[in-house]
Amino acid sequence: MSESAIRRPRGTTDYFGFDEEVLLGLERLLMEESSLYGCKRVNPPVFEESRLFHRSVGESSDIVRKETFDLLSKGDKDYTLRPEFTAGVNRLVLENKLYALPDLPVRFSYMGKVFRYERPQSGRLREFYQYGVEFLDAKIDLDTSLDALLLSIEATKKALKKDVLVLINFLGSFQSRENYKKALADFFRPHLDEMCDDCKKRFETNPLRILDCKVEKDHELGKMAPRIEDYLSAEDKKEYDAIVSVLEELGVSYRKDDGLVRGLDYYTGLVWEIYDAEKPTSALGGGGKYSSLMKDIGGPEFEGIGFSLGIERLILDMTPERKKELSLTSPLDVFLLDFERSGKAIALAQKLRKEGLSVSLPSQQKGMGGCFKMADRLKARNVVIVFEDGHIELKDMESRNQKAVTEEELITLLRR
Ligand code: AMP
């Protein structure tokens, strides 16, 4: 029996050609946007000690309960592929003592792959890219919170060239949240028998997350549950009102949604999700403020606020025109033909590359016609032919003019 072909694992993507160019263009745009907000890029490892995610993301979150890719133990430590960046960035700040820097908040951006063992479907992958930022400081104030929120909105709008809708909620300080959790537990307790299995577990670990449930019956029940606003302190309310009034002033289209709690356990204060304003079905990204993450992983009292956007969700939501604009159609300066293949052309190619010109060559098997068709497909600006007698001809692919040139003339003409 023949073995089956080796294929790409489910829920992953082979990026190449046009899709890779769109990805690169998007990465460049997002990094440029982050630098407008003073962010510096960080690149933590793709895998970390499993403890990091189990402690920080929260045992009750879906990510930890069923969605991590845990690596087979090879030594004395257990490792997990990162399911998100926030924990890794906080670990990086802690381990390198960046919290002790005089210049706070640290403003870090990132873009890279994350891994979640989910059931793959459109827009839900097992390996996908996230772009995002984390701002960290002893205390995250109103201005820093707004900066993070506004960056997430502007980055999404610029990436898509579309309007976005932002859903916001305010979970309050640790104490407000604990009081609210208690009130929710009291409310849901008499209904436990009717609720889905996931919610039964959430009831034990974090009743707030029941409000996230998509099961119709539980969702309806959640609508009748106590509202978070009634459990916020005066200080929390003041901060939430201030955020809202800045959004109003800037004309940001937002909607308050007090059922929004976000998947992870560690959020306190402002949380948000971003949607395409015209089809607000699945979230393009989300973020929030957190207060105890750094302490939970053994660090000092330090707060953070951050968000992440799902790159594949953004790409899925783009028009074909937008994708074309983003693809870095990095043009080829020279397509170099040498039918003798004696190495002469490579020496010339190296000279041209030293001049900063991009040069590529076809395979040996192609005839002249095939080479020119390939040059057109590659959108080469010029074709240079090295003939067997050593003379060189240059064809400008736009004007289609072709003429014999010396090597010096070639370099001068191409430099222009
Ligand atoms: P989260 O870290 O769960 O808040 O996710 C942030 C963003 O990442 C979401 O809004 C999605 O755009 C994206 N995302 C989350 N899970 C997946 C997935 N399984 N596949 C693709 N994108 C995802």
CA angle 102, 105, 111 (to 5 degrees): 125
312 C-beta closer than 6 A to ligand 1: yes
Encoding tokens for residue 107?
Answer: 């403003």
Please determine, for residue 380, whether its predicted confidence score (pLDDT) is greater than 70. Answer: yes
Q: Which of 160-164, 176-180, 325-329, 381-385 has the lowest mean pLDDT?
A: 325-329
Sheet hosting strand 402-405, strand order edge to edge? 359-360, 332-338, 380-386, 392-396, 402-405
Give the pLDDT band of residue 358 (cuts 50, 70, 90): very high
Residue 251: which residues within 8 A CB-CB, separation 6 or more? none
- The amino acid present at 399, given as its one-letter code, is S
Burial class (CB in 10 A: 0-12, 13-18, 19+), 87: buried
Ligand 1 probe mutation, 290, 313, 314, 317, most atoms within 8 A of CB: 313
Give residue-wise pLDDT tens across range 41-80: 999 999 999 999 887 555 555 555 568 999 987 788 999 9
Atom 18 of ligand 1 has which residue's CA nearest to it? 124
Atom 16 of ligand 1 has which residue's CA nearest to it? 124
Give the pLDDT band of residue 223 (cuts 50, 70, 90): confident
Q: What's the CA-to-centroid distance between 366 and ligand 1, angstroms?
A: 45
Ligand 1 nearest-atom number relative to CA 262: 4
Q: Which of 21-30, 299-308, 324-333 has the lowest mean pLDDT?
A: 324-333
Give residue-wise pLDDT tens across range 105-136: 999 999 999 999 999 999 999 999 999 999 99
Ligand 1 probe mutation, 10, 113, 124, 129, most atoms within 8 A of CB: 124
DSSP E strands in 164-291: the ranges are 164-170, 254-256, 267-276, 285-290
128 C-beta closer than 6 A to ligand 1: yes
pLDDT at 67: 86
Ligand 1 nearest-atom number relative to CA 284: 12
Give the pLDDT band of residue 237 (cuts 50, 70, 90): very high
| C-alpha span between 369 and 39 (Å, rounded) | 50
What is the percentage of the chain residues whose pLDDT exceeds 90?
Answer: 71
Atom 11 of ligand 1 has which residue's CA nearest to it? 310
Q: Which of 333-337, 344-348, 350-354 has the lowest mean pLDDT?
A: 344-348
Q: What's the CA-to-centroid distance between 158 and ligand 1, angstroms?
A: 19
Q: Which of 56-65, 89-98, 407-416 has the lowest mean pLDDT?
A: 56-65
130 C-beta closer than 6 A to ligand 1: yes
The CA–CA distances, whole Å, from 124 to 88, 129, 188, 272, 278 equal 22, 11, 30, 20, 20
284 C-beta closer than 6 A to ligand 1: yes
124 C-beta closer than 6 A to ligand 1: yes
The closest alpha carbon to 275, from 254, 250, 261, belongs to 254
| C-alpha span between 202 and 176 (Å, rounded) | 19
Strands 332-338 and 380-386: parallel
Helix, strand and coil in the chain, % to nearest 5: 40, 20, 35
